[in-house]
Amino acid sequence: MPSEHTRPHRFNTRLWLAGGWLLFALALALLAPWIAPHDPLAQDLLYGRLPPFWSEGAEPGLWLGTDSLGRDLLSRLIYGGRIAFMVAFAAATAACLVGSTLGLIAGYFGGWPDRIISRIVDIWMSFPPVLFAILLVAVLGTGLHSVIIAIAVIDWTRFCRVIRAEAMVQSRMDYVESARIAGFGRIGIMIKEVLPNVMPSIIALLSLEMGIAIIVEAILSFVNLSIATDDPTWGGLIAEGRLSIHQAWWVLVFPLIALFLTVLSFSQLGEGLKQRFDPILR
């Protein structure tokens, strides 16, 4: 059957493309101080709103042009990636730890722990997430820590809901029953038997959540509520670009492309990993 041969091949290509872009972007972000051609904060009003290199009026060395204050867009983009990846890794991991733990407990134990956790999830889901994030950052004060905490506080429910459902299915399986008969403790079974079986979902969700965290950070930067310093962020660049959209489209387009590719890659990576780990789909 041809479809069985083409299918894994297609998703492998996707996985490679997504992983490749993420590694490339991550490397750029990590090596920013050595790679970025200019100081991302250096202003030069004589060189304001220069177009990218292929357009007329471009200045050599300022590859992607400059913003209204004459700052080099390419350097700002590279440095912006640092914040994006930092938020992605820290916030997604924190949300994952909280959400998966609670989900595992709710799904495996059932009963009143499940009822309490599920009710809290319901309440959490009744908040518009973006508004909740903006509110939390306003309350906690702007800064990288606040952004990370806000995303974790809001998005743990994504992990909790899925892992709860999966742990519930797993805990009814025969192997859990056998472990119980063999005399293992409840918490031991949960960690040693159920957790490894829900791990593929956790990893897939983690990758998805990294993309979501980057978007939330961009949204917060967009409404000027992210990190308080002058450091460039992709969302901040987009906000500048939205203001000067009719005069300098490139200030919006390049950060948008970076955001687009990164978010798409994280979600494709998540999907790909899920399929790869899923014994039935594999």
Partner 1 sequence: MQRILIRLFTMLITLFGVAVVVFIVIRIAPGDPIAMMLPPGATDEDVARLRALYGLDKSLLEQFFVWFGGIIQGDFGTSISLRQDVLGLVLNRLPATLELSLFALLIALSIGGPLAIWGARERGTSIEAGIDIANGAALSIPDFLWGLVLILTFGVLIPVFGISGRVSPRLDLPFVSQFYLFESFFRLRFDLTKDLLSHMFMPALALALPLAAIISQLLKQSLKEVMDLDYVVLARVKGFSETQVILREALKNAALPTLTLIGVQFTFLIGGTVIIERLFSYEGIGNMAIDAVINRDLPLIQGIVLVFALLFVLVNLAVDMTYTLLNPRLRNA
State the residues that interact with partner 1 by CB under 8 A: 119-120, 122-123, 125-132, 134-136, 138-139, 141, 211-212, 215, 218-219, 222-225, 238, 242, 245-246, 249, 252-253, 256, 259-260, 263-264, 267-268, 271
How far apart are CB 186 and partner 1 at their closest, in Å? 28
Cβ atoms of 154 and 219 within 8 Å: the answer is: no
Burial class of residue 196 in the structure, from the number of CB atoms within 10 Å of its CB (0-12 exposed, 13-18 middle, 19+ buried): exposed
Q: Which tokens is 46 given? A: 């004589």
Separation CA 279–CA 282 (nearest Å): 5
Comparing CB distances to partner 1, the nearer of 178 and 247 is: 247
How far apart are CB 33 and partner 1 at their closest, in Å? 28
Comparing CB distances to partner 1, the nearer of 170 and 268 is: 268
Q: How many helices (H) and strands (E) does the chain have?
A: 11, 0
Comparing CB distances to partner 1, the nearer of 92 and 189 is: 92
Q: How many residues in total does the chain contain?
A: 282
Comparing CB distances to partner 1, the nearer of 139 and 181 is: 139
Burial class of residue 217 in the structure, from the number of CB atoms within 10 Å of its CB (0-12 exposed, 13-18 middle, 19+ buried): buried
How far apart are CB 104 and partner 1 at their closest, in Å? 23
How far apart are CB 225 and partner 1 at their closest, in Å? 8
